[in-house]
Amino acid sequence: MSMTTILEIKNLHAFYGKSHVLHGVDLVVNQGEIVSLLGRNGVGRSTTVKAAMGQVKATGSIRFKGEELIGLKAFEIAHKGLGYVPEQRDIFPALTVEQNLILGEKGGGKSGGGKKNGKAARWCLNDMYQMFPRLMERRSIPAGVLSGGEQQMLTLCRTLMGDPDLIMIDEPTEGLAPKIVDLVADYLKALKDKGISVLLVEQKLAIALTISQRVYVMGHGAIQFEGSPDDLRGNAAIRKEWLEV
């Protein structure tokens, strides 16, 4: 079965000032696929997704739905249907939960019936509240008083309200209780079921190997391994060299 590529990164180099962080990264995400980007802290995983979002100076090629993204601004990339959930969550603490969600909409109103490219959006406020009932309970309170897990739910949902075709998520389970980690895993599988592609930056092997169709392992600013979760489970040398502490 042939698959349609939605995101294709080729020979990506990225820099922070004079520091050369990424060294020729190649990576592909196909339509409706969950792909995990694994590796230890500091190897360039977050830089890869920030470069795709136009937040880091980069050279090479990043093509999304066939269009080159290098040189575009972050808001232009977002409008093309690429969503990004940063590790630090970036909620608006003084606004209510519901106001944060509404801010995520593209051309929408309070009902969540926004349109993208003339089509009705796939998601509305009620979808978010059904997925995470805790947000419904707390919809009228300032987002800044939410727990870490609740803030992570809110950030994920706010990004989803923009109706992206691909969502890049940086360490969504960091610091969360196991029960909330399971909720996030269910959320990501729900995205795939709706045809949304996911590029997941994650350190927890368990969640990545459970929900992904393919995994990449990064080290020294480059891809060191690509394959299925079963391939990685069976490759002790790669795990020891690039993943285990």
Domain of 47: which CATH number?
Answer: 3.40.50.300
- Containing 120, the helix (H) or strand (E) segment is strand 119-120
Residue 49 lies in a domain: yes
| Res 119: pLDDT | 57
Please indicate, yes or no, if residue 225 is contained in any of the structural domains.
Answer: yes
In a domain, residue 186? The reply is no
CA pair distance 164, 162, nearest whole angstrom: 6
The answer to whether position 96 is within a domain reads: no
Residue closest to 34 by CA, chosen among 186, 156, 193, 212: 212
Name the strand (E) or helix (H) holding 155.
Answer: helix 148-160
Let me know if residue 187 belongs to a domain. no
Residue 108 included in any domain: no
Residue 102 lies in a domain: no
Q: Which two tokens stand for residue 40?
A: 């230890």
User: How many whole angstroms separate alpha carbon 177 and alpha carbon 44?
Assistant: 26
Centre a 10 Å sphere on the Cβ of residue 8 and count the other Cβ atoms it contains: 16
pLDDT tens, residue by residue, 153-195: 899 899 999 899 999 999 988 888 888 888 888 888 888 888 8
Q: How many domains does the chain have?
A: 1
Please name which of 3, 16, 4, 5 lies closest in space to residue 62, comparing C-alpha atoms: 5
17-21, 27-31, 203-207: which is most confident: 27-31
Residues 89-132 have pLDDT tens digits of: 789 999 999 999 999 887 644 444 445 455 566 788 998 998 88
Residue 118's pLDDT is what?
Answer: 52
Query: What crossing angle do the helices spanning 148-160 and 178-193 adopt, rounded to 10°?
Result: 10
Q: What does the H/E/C string look like for 192-217? A: HHCCCEEEEECCCHHHHHHHCCEEEE
β-strand pairing of 82-85 with 166-170:
parallel
Percent of all residues in the chain with a pLDDT value above 90, rounded to a whole number: 66
Q: How many residues make up the chain in this entry?
A: 245
Domain that holds residue 232: 1-81+202-245
User: Does any domain span residue 243?
Assistant: yes
